[in-house]
Structure formats: structure tokens, C-alpha cells
Amino acid sequence: MPLGERTGDEKSESRYCGVETEFSDDMPQLLSSNLHGGFDFVVASLMDPTYRPSLMDDGSNGAGLLPFAGSDLVLSPSQWSGHVVGKISSWIDLDSEDEVLRTDSEITLKQEISWASHLSLQACLLPSPKGPSCANYARCVNEILQNLTSMQLWLRIPLEKSDSDAGGANPDHMIDSWDLWNSFRLLCEHHSQLSVALDVLPSLPSANSLGRWFGESVKAAIISSNSFLTNARGYPCLSKRHQNLMAAFFNHSIQIVISGEQLHSLPPGNLDTTANNSDNHNEGLHLHPLRSYLDYVAYLYQRMDPLPEQERFELGYRDYLQSPLQPLMDNLEAQTYETFEKDTVKYIQYQRAISKALLDRVSDEEASALTTVLMVVGAGRGPLVRAALQAAEETGRKLRVYAVEKNPNAIITLHSLVKLEGWEKEVIIVSCDMRCWDAPEKADVLVSELLGSFGDNELSPECLDGAQRFLKPDGISIPSSYTSFIQPITASKLYNDVKSHKDLLHFETAYVVKLHRVARLASTQPVFTFAHPESSTKRKNDRYKKLEFEIPCNTGSAMVHGFAGYFDATLYKDVHLGIELSTATSNMFSWFPIFFPLRTPVCVQPGIPLTVHLWRCCGSTKVWYEWCVSSPVSTPVQNPNGRSYWVGL
């Protein structure tokens, strides 16, 4: 039974648990006994482990039947595809010095994957490379991948604990299984159907080292019974670090596979229903020797906190590439406005900022006599107009609001809103681009919500530069400043999604993404800052920044697929708004991070800085970004002259 159905609360997509089995020539019985034992799928050998092509009778002229596990007819197509992951023979060694073994291995690998593909299996588990050199193994797998349709290949990689984690002094003997995986996938050109199955061992690497894997294409985690501890009642349990790792696997939709022999005997009649929360525990215990391990995994799953409402809302956007808005070139649609308007947290922050500005602008003694002129530039369908009027009511200040909006469709809604709310005396609607409007009077306060995921990427600087001329010399701009930030990330899924387009344009586009299956390799660093109003008469919005990132030493090597971008804005004085990780505004969903992909991913080593260059370029009709890496290797400058991606003025 799926783990998620045990409580009826679907906390993540990773709600199924499989079991690794030994070879059996009775596949129906093998599958039946494991499914009845509570498991959802089996990782099963498809070929007798004693089979070697070199031992076959050459006189058969190819007519001899290979000793597969029965025929494809022993299970229905839905059983094969829904409940069986093929396990490629563990003895194969395509990089062996023994030519016979190497040849047998290649023939067997191709035969088994061909058979698995014929059975329409969703995935096959490849054995871990036998040594540090895996070039021939990877070449053969890559050859197979070129003709594979939809089946995934999971490369088994042990989650090794390196000497550096254990405090070892000899760097020559450091083991990092990530390097093994990285070598293999580079030889296979980051193929999207090549993934990882991690072997979870009794001792774990450092937290930073583990964190790298959550940006990789990890499909399964295989945990052996010998990785479990024994609790006071004789039941299997896991260390706190293993428990946290399992929760992270669940959260990243990584399936769990239990492996090994039963090492924990359960006293008859002494079932721990607290630690093994399953209604079918008694039944399952007698059906399967590994049932107690399954129950413990289910218990860990059930113990997870339910996803917050905001996370549930954002589930469909996880790791989905979206092109950023073009606010000047395009008029937003009603559905886009509606989504943004539901973000009450954002407008509460704006209202707080406007209230503080009104109090600073008009003293209590002048409140009944003075009217503050406030201009909302880019008023949309009116949420900032509402926030401004609520701030005026809250502070007891008189307000005259100009709602400036270029979208003629939003103007219709604004007129309707003003009439509905009875704001005719306070609100003046202006249907015009803010950069072209000739204001009848100067503003005390200028309010806008032109910020993008990277702060300036929706042309807030250019728009506010154009609107600044109708702000009084001592006027207030809300926001008053904003800064962009970036950090290097491992993002295998995003990289492969961009790569699937097979063109330059998509690699030179910055995307808005709800980041999920990524590994953040270093802390964020500030990039570009803009302040409003801008007093300099020689102001330019071109920017250039060189940044150096250090990967923590206990992380190990890591792959940088691109950069995640964020922003933090000061609306007014101490009122902030943003998505930068250390200062992010809670429960706000108007912005997802931005993602700058690298055409060629860069492998970084601890202690060697990653040097990144980012440019914001301005032309007469467009604004664009260019980016590259200059250390530890040099990459081409991406998007020169905005050839692939730009924001139109």
C-alpha cells in the first residue's frame, strides 16, 4: 500500500516504497509475495546471474533461448510497467582488464536493457562502476541511451563517506562517490534518461556533501537493512541524521527501496504500534521478512508535516521554466492580475510603507489641512490604489491619488472599481504610459510595483526614471531601493529541460522558476542596486559585477548548472519586501526566483573560487543581461548584445 495512503495525507510525490529482490524464475510469485507484503514495486533481476554469453553453445546458431525470468506473458503489461524495476546483473564489469569478462558484460548489458525495454519497464537499475575508471561502461550505456525511448536508467552509486568527512589526513585516499557519478554522466553528455539510485550506507557524509545530491537527478534511494539501528523493543530504527535524510528524500520525490536480509527479529505479541503506525502491521509481518523496515519508513513518511497551503498552491510550478514578463511590450491578462492581487502579504507591506511615508510627510497638526498627492504608476487593476487609501484612512491623512496605467483593458476595471468603491473624489485615473504622461502637479509620494524576480529585470529603473520628473524634489519613492542577488546552483532537471530545446536561444534566456530540486552551493551575494529617486544627472542603468563564490570544503566537488537570482527591496525606511533567502518576506508568492543557465556546466572544487561575471546592458530599444564564468574555467559570454533574450523598452 502506498505510504501516502496510510494516513490519507499526500505529503509528497514520494509515497511509494519498493524492495530489492534476488533472481527468481517465478516472477508472478516474486511479485505477488512482495506486493502482498506491503511493497509497491520490486527491483528484480531479469536474467539468471549464472548466465555468461561466452559459455553459451555456439552450435545453436543463435537459436538457444537465453535464461530470462520467464516470458513477457507471465505478467500483464501493467504489472511489468507499474510494479517492476529491472535490475541489471551486478557481475558485469565493462572496464575489466579481462577481455572475456568485458565482452560478456557488454553483450549482457545490451541484452538485458533490450529485454527490459521490450517489457515496457519504467526504469532499470545499473550496477555501480567497479572502479574509478568507467569510460567503457559509460560509452556502452551512452550508446544504449541514444536508442532508448522512455525508459530511465538508474546508475547505482554508493553514498560514500569520504576521508575528509572523517577527518582523514591523506587526501590521496579521499573517496567521493559524486566524482564517480559526475565522470559517468559527463561521458554520457548529461543525458536526461540517465539518473542516480543512491545506496544509503550506515555512515553518512557531511550535510553539505549530502546537499549536492538534491540538485542531481536522483530517482531512488536504496537503504539496506544493515543501515538500521535497533530500538529498545527490537524494532528497526534509523539514526537522527538518517531520519533527516529520509525526510529530504520524501520532500524531493525520491523513491525509497529497501534491500538486504531481515536483521531485526520482532518478539511475538510485542508489536510497537507507536513506532510502526500501520493498521495492517500484524498481517504484513507474517507476509514479508522486511515488513518491519517498510513500516518504519511509512512511519517516517507519516510523521512529516503537511505541506503548507502556499507550497500546495505552488506544487505545479516546481522546477517549471517560465519566461519572465515583458511589462512594457505586453499588456497583462486578467488572470495574471488576479494571481498577483491574491498576494495579500505584498500589499500589507506596501500599506505599511505608505502609512509611514504619510506620517513623515504630514504632521498631526497639518493632517486636516494638507492633502498629500500620491501617484501609483502602473496601477494595474487597483490593488495599490486600495492600499494607499487604506493607509490614508489608517493614519488620518487626506490623499489625492493619480492611478496611472498604460493597459487600456485594466483602465476599464479601474473605472469600475472607483465607481463601485465610491472613490471618485480621491482617485483620478490616467490612461497613459508613465514615461509619456505630462502630470498636472508634482507628487509627494510615487508608488510602483514594477519589481521582477531579479529586482530590475522588469525595467523598474527605466520606468521610474521616466516618472521621476513629476516627483517633488523632496518626494518619496516607494520602493526607495532594490538589490539583486545570485548564487550558484546544481539544477540537473532545469539544465536538461533547457538542453531539450537543442538550441542556443534557450540557454541564453533567464527563466522564472519555483526552484525545488536544486542544490544551493554557496550563500547569495549582491549584484546590482538601484535607488529612487535618483539625484545624479548622469545616471545610467548599465551595470557590471564580478563575484567570487567559495564552495565549503566539506561539500566536495559539485556541478554548477547555472545561477539562481533573487531580490530584496526597501519600500520605505524599515519596510522591506523580497525573496532573497536570508531576508525573504514570509508567505509571499508574487515572485519566484530567476534562473540563469550555463551552456556548459562547470565543475567546481572546494578551495578554488568560482568567478562569475554579470552585465546589465541598455540599448535604445531593449535591456538585456550577459553572463559568464572565468574561473575555474572560462565559459563563453552568454547572450551577447541580447541576441537571444531581452526586455523591450
> Does residue 10 have a known ligand-binding role?
no
Give the strand pairing for 558-572 and 594-604.
Answer: antiparallel
CA dist., res. 431 & res. 99, Å (int): 79
> Does residue 337 have a known ligand-binding role?
yes
- Positions annotated as catalytic residues are 449, 458
Q: What is the DSSP string of 583-620?
A: TPPTT--S-PPEEEEEEEEEEE-TTS-EEEEEEEEE-S
> Does residue 235 have a known ligand-binding role?
no
Residue 441, Cβ neighbours under 10 Å: how many? 11
> Does residue 405 have a known ligand-binding role?
yes
Q: Is the dihedral of CA 276, 281, 285, 288 positive or negative?
A: negative
Q: Are 495 and 582 in contact (CB under 8 A)?
A: no
> Does residue 347 have a known ligand-binding role?
yes
* Cβ-proximal residues to 627 (8 Å cutoff; 6+ apart), any chain: 563, 596, 612, 613, 614, 615, 637, 638, 639
User: Which amino acid, one-letter code, is at 75?
Assistant: L
Q: Kindly compute the dihedral angle of the four CA atoms of residues 297, 303, 309, 314, in this order, to the nearest 10 degrees.
A: -20
| Grid coordinates belonging to 253 | 520525490
Strand positions, DSSP E, 416-557: 427-431, 443-447, 471-478, 481-490, 511-512, 519-520, 525-531, 543-549
* Cβ-proximal residues to 259 (8 Å cutoff; 6+ apart), any chain: 19, 20, 43, 222, 223, 224, 225
| Grid coordinates belonging to 55 | 559459455
| Grid coordinates belonging to 431 | 490612461
CA dist., res. 292 & res. 235, Å (int): 7
Helix (H) or strand (E) holding 78: helix 77-83
CA dist., res. 485 & res. 649, Å (int): 23
> Does residue 151 have a known ligand-binding role?
no
Mark the binding-site residues, compressed into ranges: 337, 346-347, 405, 433-434
Mark the binding-site residues for S-adenosyl-L-methionine, compressed into ranges: 337, 346-347, 405, 433-434
